[in-house]
Amino acid sequence: MHPVSANAPLLFQRVLSLVLLAAGPLGTTVFAEDWPAHRKDVYRTGITGERLMLPLEQVWCKTTSRAPAPAWTESPAIHDYLHNHYHLKPRQHFDRCFDVAVVGNRVYYGSSVSGAVHCLDATDGGKTLWTFFTEGPVRFTPHVDGGRVYFGSDDGFVYCLDAVEGTLVWKHRAGPTDEKIWGNEHMISVWPVRTSVTVADGEVYWTAGLFPGEGMFLCKRRARDGSGGWTTTPVRPHQGHLALTADWVIAPSGKSFAAVYQRKDGSSAGDLKKSGRDGGCWTLVTPDESQLWTGPSVENATRHFKTSGRTFIALVGGANTLVANTSFAFYNTDTSILKIEGKKHGLVWRQDLRYPHALIKAKDHLFAGGDREVASLDANTGKILWNAEVDGSVYGLAAANGALYVSTDRGSIYCFGAPQKP
């Protein structure tokens, strides 16, 4: 935290700024829910209690001069026709859009093009409030916690910024030197940060490094100043969004299966796998921490595990993204959206709809991302309630403080809110 200033006017300005952070994007919703991290929380559930009032209308759109530049664009290497492993989908698609975190009136996103984190004013047409540049692409959604913004960069550093002012609080490099290599049309660290930087209980977690021969690092530090904690060696390179439980750090590994580590000391707690060719860049934990989901695997599917013993439960074929709690799960395939029972996987409903890229749940509404379109569905029936055209394919969704935020692979960020009174 910044020290208390003796300058009363400046202190008053800072307190006022923090109060404004708690207000809604249209200046009316004070007690609504924020969306402070990728898929809302450290479980990555994609679920919020926020109720959005339909129909929505476009409030503003932030466009960038260049589309996102993903780290990985090639098709997966495994094409095993004997086991029906062909026409595989990418398993490292964690940075196809400028995915946002939203706290109060402020919208935060990292850019793989500018190498910066940007802060926008949700109440003023998406106006840029501040920009903080790093020396490499920023590929993951910032995590906003306690008035701070946490994120990592391909330059090898993890950064902590003041959320109001965008000034540096601390930064830390896990790699041993500032050595760099050419990667993705940039000079990047030999130890880039290719997982989300995730914050919980005053602690911050991330990994750095892609090359086992050069060293890899899994780190935990105190969120307030970047000190303390521990650094350990991962069992494999990790890429994707970390998920946390009370005891574990769960780290996706892209083309390989996710690994589980103890939060207390970073020691290995095993793997999430059914076979040696599982993979994916995301994991999801149900809020009661009884179940885990991870994907997409080599079969273009997600896998469901019991948290206890990491026991495999079932494979959900064709699932691209998923939202889940203990009692239910929703998922999208290339051609449909389905609701299933959380434990027995019994089908509740299915709608043949092409919204294959993103899925979240806000109160009784699902929001789904497709090609050039975003839609809302009734979570109880699957019926479409609202839709809108956008520029590009929708890979990022967030619902916060009365508004829906939509991020596309063309680099656009849309804010949809309740219709404005004339």
Q: How confident is the model at residue 407 (pLDDT cuts 50, 70, 90)?
A: very high
Sign (positive/negative) of CA torsion 125, 375, 320, 251? positive
pLDDT score at 187? 79
pLDDT digits (tens, 9 = 90+) for 189-205: 899 999 999 999 999 99
Q: Give the Cα separation of 395 and 411 in Å (integer).
A: 10
Domain ranges of the chain: 25-417
Mean pLDDT of the chain: 86
Strand partners, 387: 375
% residues pLDDT > 90 (the chain): 65
Top-tier CATH class for 25-417: mainly beta
* Cα separations in angstroms, 364 against 32, 36, 200, 321, 376: 15, 21, 27, 18, 10
% residues pLDDT > 70 (the chain): 85
Amino acid code (one letter) for 277: R
Instruction: Specify whether the CB–CB gap between 59 and 165 falls below 8 A.
Output: no
Residue 121, class by beta-carbon neighbours within 10 Å (0-12 exposed, 13-18 middle, 19+ buried)? middle
Q: For 136-140, 218-222, 241-245, 310-314, which range has the lowest pLDDT when averaged over its residues?
A: 310-314
Q: How confident is the model at residue 281 (pLDDT cuts 50, 70, 90)?
A: confident
Q: For 79-88, 130-139, 372-381, which range has the lowest pLDDT when averaged over its residues?
A: 79-88
Q: How far is CA 7 from the centre of its chain?
A: 38
pLDDT score at 420? 72
Mean pLDDT is highest, among 21-25, 127-131, 280-284, for: 127-131
* Cα separations in angstroms, 365 against 53, 163, 379, 416: 10, 30, 5, 15
pLDDT digits (tens, 9 = 90+) for 84-138: 555 566 666 778 899 999 999 999 999 999 999 999 999 999 999 999 999 999 9
Mean pLDDT is highest, among 60-69, 108-117, 209-218, 289-298, for: 108-117
Whether 66 shows a pLDDT value over 50: the answer reads yes
Sign (positive/negative) of CA torsion 118, 119, 125, 127? negative
Whether 13 shows a pLDDT value over 50: the answer reads no
pLDDT score at 25? 43
Q: How confident is the model at residue 43 (pLDDT cuts 50, 70, 90)?
A: very high
Q: How many CA atoms lie within 13 A of 234 on its CB side?
A: 33
pLDDT score at 20? 41
pLDDT score at 44? 95
